[in-house]
């Protein structure tokens, strides 16, 4: 299996698992919490068919990557991504982040620039700044994140069960746009993640990415569901689209957090059109914000 080494903890190597498929312009897909690169299964065949080289990888602590006890912050996540990109020798590549993965996209460009980055895509992503604070009154209260960590510390398996209800809006879409089997598969991946990573990643969700977004000077697409209960549209995607110059915002009507699964057709159409340089029609935008 392909791995890239990104560091060492005592006597243990820290390796990231990745997959590299197809030919053409590279597209790097960065997964969300608490999943792995396998969560892109509805996007992978579409992008391969469109003629892209598609790279997925598992963030440290998740999937088949190493599970160290440290490094769960966006500076390290961006550094890990940078080492993967250099290992593969990528040029003119697009970065696509879902949920937590959008943080990597923002911090990577903020830290390393966009010299070799062709395009940026944020799907249901955490930027620009989720925490309610002075100068950010519409954010989420700190107590919400504290409560999540308390629930994970008490019983992370029970937390994941409840988390995925809002991840997919199962009260609306179970048996329609998502099966119980798919929800269970996500739970299985989450359960295999590092307990330390499961807990330590929560504070990263409210990282302040506003300065990182200021540095994005490549074509940018933001895709977000207007029924997202995990990362609300009005404090995330809608604001990111306003902060990044000339960014395109696609709002998926009634879309939950995991629109990459429940509304994959809309997501795939917008994503494929954007990456191929085609205009995204008003109809495909679903609605404007």
Structure tokens at 53: 């080289």
- Pairing of the two strands 26-30 and 53-57: parallel
What's the Cα-to-Cα distance from 60 to each of 33, 35, 87, 201, rounded to whole Å? 11, 11, 16, 11
Q: Would you state the structure tokens that stand for residue 18, as one six-digit string? A: 């990745």
166 flagged as catalytic: no
Q: Find the catalytic residue in 39, 65, 99, 125.
A: 99
- Selecting among 58, 80, 228, 273, the annotated active-site residue is 228
Contact 85, 119 (CB under 8 A): no
DSSP β-bridge partners for residue 173: none
Give all strands of the β-sheet with 12-21 in edge-to-edge order: 3-9, 12-21, 53-57, 26-30, 93-98, 117-123, 220-225, 248-252
Q: Rounded CA gap, 127 and 76, in Å?
A: 17
Structure tokens at 138: 């519409």
Tokens 């988390």 -> residue: 163
Active-site hit among 206, 257, 263, 273: 257
Grouping H, G, I as helix, E, B as strand and the rest as coil, residue 131 is strand
Active-site annotation holds for 224: no
- Give the residue ranges of DSSP H helices in the chain: 44-49, 74-88, 101-112, 142-168, 170-173, 180-191, 195-200, 210-214, 237-243, 259-262, 264-275, 282-285
Active-site residue numbers? 99, 228, 257
């Amino acid at each position: 299996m392909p791995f890239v080494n990104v560091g060492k903890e005592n006597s243990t190597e820290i390796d990231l698992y990745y997959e590299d498929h197809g030919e053409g312009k590279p597209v790097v897909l960065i997964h969300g919490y608490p999943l792995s690169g396998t969560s892109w299964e509805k996007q992978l065949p579409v992008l391969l068919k469109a003629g892209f080289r598609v790279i997925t990888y598992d963030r440290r602590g998740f999937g088949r990557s190493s599970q160290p006890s440290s490094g769960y912050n966006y500076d390290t996540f961006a550094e890990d991504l940078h080492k993967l990109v250099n290992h593969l020798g990528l040029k003119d590549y697009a970065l696509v982040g879902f949920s937590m993965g959008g943080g990597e996209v923002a911090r990577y460009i903020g830290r390393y620039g966009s010299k070799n980055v062709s395009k940026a895509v944020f799907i249901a992503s955490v930027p620009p700044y989720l925490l309610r604070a002075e100068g950010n009154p519409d954010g989420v209260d700190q107590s919400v994140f504290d409560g999540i960590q308390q629930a994970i510390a008490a019983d992370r398996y029970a937390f994941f069960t409840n988390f995925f209800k809002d991840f997919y809006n199962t009260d609306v879409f179970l048996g329609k746009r998502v099966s119980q089997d798919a929800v269970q598969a996500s739970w299985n991946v989450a359960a295999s993640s590092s307990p330390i990573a499961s807990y330590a990643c929560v504070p990263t969700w409210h990282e302040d990415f506003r300065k990182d977004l200021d540095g994005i000077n490549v074509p940018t697409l933001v895709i977000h569901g207007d029924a997202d209960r995990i990362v609300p549209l009005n404090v995330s995607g809608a604001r990111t689209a306003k902060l990044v110059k000339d960014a395109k915002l696609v709002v998926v009507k009634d879309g939950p957090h995991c629109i990459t699964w429940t509304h994959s057709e809309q997501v795939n159409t917008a994503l494929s059109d954007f990456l191929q340089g085609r205009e995204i029609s008003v109809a495909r935008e679903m609605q404007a914000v």
